[in-house]
Amino acid sequence: MLWLLFLSLPGLGGSVPSFPPVFPGLSSLTQQGGPVGAHNAPAGRWPWQVSVRRYNKELELWQHLCGGSLIHHQWVLTTAHCTQREDWAAYGLRVQVGQLRLYDHDTLTTVTKIVRHPKFNQSLSAEGGADVALLTLEAPVTLSERIGLVPLPPASLRVPERKMCWMSGWGYSSLGAPRLWPYQLQEVMVPIVGNEVCNQRYQNSSTNTGQIIKDDMLCAGSEGQDSCQGDSGGPLVCSLEGTWVQVGIVSCGYSCGHRDFPGVYARVMSFISWIRKYVPPPSGS
C-alpha cells in the first residue's frame, strides 16, 4: 500500500493520520529535515514554491500542510489529496508565497476556491490517480525577485528516463521523522524513472498485479534522493532548453528515499488541458 506525503495536524480532531494509507510512500528531500538527501535552497532559486497552510488550534499557528506552486498571479497548483477532507473548505486554507524560511514573517493569502480534478477518487486518494487540484487566491500576488510563476510544459512533452530534475519543499527527511521542519526550503536533484520500470518495482512488493503507476503519474528519485511527508503538492521541475518547467507534483510513494521505490508524482502534462480551463496562460505565451 502507498503512503501520502502530507502532514497531519494535531488539534484538528486528530482524524488525519500522519501517513494516510495510499501509495507506497514518497521519498524525502533532505538529510536534515525536508526532502530526503536535500540541502538548503538558495534564495530566489524556486520563486514559485508555496506553502499551503491549515490552522492548528493547539499551536495557534497556520501550520504547513503541503507544498504547491504558483502558476498564475491568482492560482496555485497542488495535489487533490492535500484538500480532500470534507471539512476542509477553501476558507480554512491559507497560502504563503515568496518565503525561504518557513514561518519567517508570514504574510498569508486566503484561498477562496478549491478545484479538484473531476477524476480524483477520494476513496482511492492518490492511488487512483488524478491527484491534482487548483487553489484560487483571494487576491493576485505581486511578482518580485522572490515571487515568480513556474512555466507549465506542453501536453506533448515526454521527459526522458534518467533526466535529472529538481524537487523542493519543507517536508521531512525520512518517513516517521520527528516533526521538526528544516524551516529553510530544501532542494534535491532526482532522476526520472520510466513508468514501466517504476510500476515493476512497486509490483514486486505488492499483491496487486495490475497497473499501480497510472499513465497520469510520473516517477523520480533514487536511494537517498526523494520527497517525503510534508512535500506533497510541491513541484518537480526540469530544465528544458534553458527554461524550468514543472513536470510533476509530489503525490505519494513507499517510504522515503528507498532504493527500490521512486517517488510518485502527478504528471503535469496529463492535466494541461484541464488546468487551462481555469487558468489562463501568462500574457505573451
Contact 230, 54 (CB under 8 A): no
What is the helix (H) or strand (E) element at residue 109, kind and residue range? strand 109-116
List the catalytic residue out of 28, 51, 64, 131.
131
**Residue 258 among the catalytic residues:** no
Rounded-to-integer distance, Cα 238 and Cα 175, Å: 25
Which string of DSSP letters, residue by residue, matches 124-161?
TGGGGS---EEEEESSPPPP-SS--PPPPPPTT--PPT
Cell reading at 280? 489562463
Burial class (CB in 10 A: 0-12, 13-18, 19+), 209: exposed
CA atoms within 13 A on the CB side of 40: 8
List the catalytic residue out of 81, 168, 173, 226.
81
List the catalytic residue out of 28, 69, 168, 232.
232
**Residue 81 among the catalytic residues:** yes
**Residue 227 among the catalytic residues:** no
CA 278 to chain centroid, in Å, comes to: 20
Name the residue type at position 51: S
Q: Tell me the catalytic residues.
A: 81, 131, 232
